[in-house]
Amino acid sequence: MGDAAFWAALLAKMLASAGIVVLASLAVERVGPLVGAMIATLPISAGPAYTFLALDHEADFLRESAVASLPAVAATALFIAAYAALARRRGVALSLGGALGVWIAAVLGLARIGGGLVGAGLLAVGVIVGCIMACRRWRTGGHVPARRKRASDILVRAGIVMALVVAVVLAGRLAGPGATGILALAPVVMVSLAVILHPRIGGAATATVLTLSLPGLLGFVAALSALALTVERFGPALALPLALLITLAWNGGILLANRLRPAPIPETAR
């Protein structure tokens, strides 16, 4: 495939990441933080990467890649928890810097634990559930203020995301295969959301959005596990859409359950 495949994959990832982050950020401001969080945890930005892997590698390579991605998903949960803790009191630069430091340390440490698909999957689920419990107090602590919308906002947001994607991918290619494996799984969507939303709606509200996305990561773990289990038997043409369908069903179920949940009774009515 050569360089043509690399640039095609980079362009696809830029466009997909920009689209999902812009859509998620608009949903946060117009529909609510939970909808934006569920959009952000769909694997649309990761989809092009796995598609081009499928074009260039055999099914066993995709299976190993899916298993190797599970620690990175767990590290993303720790990134969200660290950012949520910092963003309520600190600026975007310090909050993201600290959270990315946690992500790098976590992805390097968790990747060494091993355990195959079962071990990596259980570890990822345990870390995500732990982060959900630790961040419960921040799920409703940030009000999303109203802001005047401008047509140029969408272009600015898309530009921010695409610039981050290019920086991550090119840095990984120049730094060598080890760093590439780490940087390719960097939480670009979450970082992009923080860069866009933190200055616009404040750190507390942005922390709420990212915290609400934690349950969506469980769907991502399920999708990667399904991909690892099915890609060699059924091939990428069926396994990849199945993984996407799992995340859509999981996040849709979260939204549906939230709509059906009874409203809390006010204290004055008790």
Could you give the CA distance from residue 40 to residue 209 in angstroms, rounded to a whole number?
A: 9
Give pLDDT, residue 270: 46
Q: Do 96 and 195 meet the contact criterion of CB atoms below 8 Å apart?
A: yes
Per-residue confidence (pLDDT) for residue 121, from 0 to 100: 92
Residue 270 placed within a domain: no
What does the mean pLDDT of the chain come to? 78
Domain of residue 252, residue span: 2-259
Indicate whether 242 pLDDT > 90: yes
Evaluate if residue 151 carries a pLDDT over 60: no
Angle, CA of 141, 143 and 149, to the nearest 5°: 150
What is the pLDDT averaged over residues 81-107? 91
Enter the DSSP assignment of 268: G
**Per the domain annotation, does 20 fall within a domain?**
yes
The DSSP output letter for 115 is: -
Model pTM? 0.78
pLDDT higher than 90, residue 169: no
Task: Kindly state the tokens that stand for 236.
Answer: 């990428």
Q: Confirm if 22 and 40 have CB atoms less than 8 A apart.
A: no
Q: In 10 A of CB 163, how many CB atoms?
A: 14
Question: Is residue 268 in a domain?
Answer: no
**Residues 19-78: pLDDT tens digits?**
766 776 676 666 677 777 787 777 766 666 677 667 667 888 888 888 888 888 899 999
In a domain? residue 90: yes
For residue 189, being part of any structural domain is answered with: yes
Q: How many domains does the chain divide into?
A: 1
Inside any domain, residue 266: no
Residue 265 maps to a domain? no
Whether 238 is in a domain gets the answer yes
What does the block give as tokens for 175? Answer: 């730094």
61's enclosing H/E stretch is: helix 59-87
184-219 pLDDT tens trace? 567 877 887 788 788 877 888 888 888 988 999 999
**Cβ–Cβ < 8 Å for 20, 192:** no
